[in-house]
Structure 1
Amino acid sequence: MELTTARLFLRPFRAGDHGELHAIAGDPAVVRWMDWGPNTPEVTAVFLAYALESECEEPRRTWRFAVVRRSDGRLIGSAELHIESPEHRRGTMGYLISPAAQGHGYATEGARAVLEFGLTAGGLHRITATCDPENHSSVRVLEKIGMSREGHLRDHFLIRGEWRDRLLYAKLAQLR
């Protein structure tokens, strides 16, 4: 499955993505707000193998996309959609963009594509995303793509020895 936007390809990961992916996942600035990382090359390889395996998953519950800039073919981030409850048509999504590509609207463009895919072709009724309250850029992305803030989750993650809150955002499929 590949998603295309005006400036991006969101495509399945490939075995040859390790170098570009690790440059992102191993960067402390990128994973500052995440409950994982910064990755070692070995941890990035494990993630990549897992992403490749999920392409064969039946029934499909997770889509992991390499976010690739169309203008130069560079891998600049990743995005994910996970169906957490097929019965209730409910999923979660997330994304990250390399520091060099931040501030150009790529996160918004990629996140919007994943959200729209999940709510249409993915058949989901509700998609949620969380972000750290201090991650103002991610708050803006979630609001720009039409997600609504639904809550503040206190001490939701233990990140590098510190309890961190999360803001909960969601979007519902349009009623037909």
Structure 2
Amino acid sequence: MAVGCPVEQESRPTPLSDPVGAAFGRVALLVEIGITGDRPAAGRWVRLVEMRTYEDLPAELVTERLRLRRWVPSDAEQFRGLWFERDPRVPAARRIDAEGRPTVEDVRGWLVDNPLTAAPGLGLLAIELRDTGGFIGYCGLTVGHGSFDEPEIAYELAQRAHGHGYATEAARAVLEAAIRTGRRRLWATVREWNTPSFRVLEKLGFHRSDRVDEDVEHGNSIWMTRVLDPR
């Protein structure tokens, strides 16, 4: 932020919080909002900086061993099971509380309301094994700490599915799909103690940025990023 009088007191790109559907995909608008003069009442200006059109992330992706798909209400119990398995260092708001919430019914309601569990055009997809149909976790794109233009890739697998390369396989499919949507960069925020997640991201070409969100209680969050090559 640049501060001064009587020049512009604030000028920064701001993503619109509610992307608009367009005929050939979804549009994200970036605008610059500024204030002229030495007080807000002196006047405002708005300038269009950039407009990009994206294809929606597919609601189904298939790999050699996995199928990533929309959530269905019957996934609720196994989705809630992921909450039970989370490391105790994960913030309490993302773990089952002392009263047993979220309940299976709570989770089922979320899945009914939003089968892709993310903003329109993005999606966190349920992962199942192609040979058995068994649910093992989720992977996809979400705004998260990023933006609609540069979303976060996120994944979480049940402990029984660890050690088989499923997270890397699913995340690679999502990354390739993100390229096809027209995205130019992805982000991921990882707690500094989450070594397995770092390994997955490094296999996919992510590297550490210079941004760190400090958190003494739960562990610092490291911002990983990857520039995408258009195809």
Same fold (TM over 0.5): yes
* Per-residue deviation, residues 58-102 of structure 1 (Å, max 9, x unmatched): x8243021111112111111123124544xx21112110111110
* Per-residue deviation, residues 20-66 of structure 1 (Å, max 9, x unmatched): 22222222xx3445431136463554344334433489x82430211
Where structure 2 has 5 or more consecutive residues not aligned to the other structure, the ranges are 1-58
Aligned residue identity for 1:172:
V
1:149 and 2:216 correspond: no
| Residue number in structure 2 paired with 1:108 | 168
1:1-176 matched pairs, under 5 angstroms: 1-27=59-85, 30-32=86-88, 34-35=90-91, 36-38=94-96, 40=100, 42-43=102-103, 45-55=105-115, 60-83=120-143, 84-86=146-148, 89-120=149-180, 122-156=181-215, 162-175=217-230
Segment drifting more, 17-26 vs 6-15: 17-26
Decide whether the 8 Å contact of 2:96 with 2:102 is kept in 1: no
Q: What SS does the corresponding residue of 1:174 show, helix, strand or coil? A: coil
Decide whether the 8 Å contact of 2:189 with 2:223 is kept in 1: yes
* Per-residue deviation, residues 94-150 of structure 1 (Å, max 9, x unmatched): 110111110110111111111221221x22111100111111111000001111211
RMSD: 2.5
CA shift, 1:151, in A, is 3.0
Give the paired residue count: 166
C-alpha distance in structure 2 between counterparts of 1:148 and 1:107, whole Å:
17
TM-score calculated relative to the size of structure 1: 0.80
Identity %: 27
Give the direction of change, closer, same or farther, for the CA distance of 1:45–1:173 in structure 2 (3 Å limit): farther
Aligned residue identity for 1:109:
E
TM-score calculated relative to the size of structure 2: 0.63
Aligned residue identity for 1:68:
E
C-alpha distance in structure 1 between counterparts of 2:147 and 2:62, whole Å:
26
Where structure 1 has 5 or more consecutive residues not aligned to the other structure, the ranges are none
Give the direction of change, closer, same or farther, for the CA distance of 1:74–1:52 in structure 2 (3 Å limit): same
Give the structure with the higher percent helix. 1
Q: Which gives a bigger RCO, structure 1 or 2 (Cα 8 Å, sep 6+)?
A: 1
Aligned residue identity for 1:174:
D
Segment drifting more, 38-47 vs 165-174: 38-47
Decide whether the 8 Å contact of 1:13 with 1:48 is kept in 2: no
Aligned residue identity for 1:24:
L
C-alpha distance in structure 1 between counterparts of 2:108 and 2:185, whole Å:
27
Give the direction of change, closer, same or farther, for the CA distance of 1:166–1:54 in structure 2 (3 Å limit): same
Q: What SS does the corresponding residue of 1:42 show, helix, strand or coil? A: coil
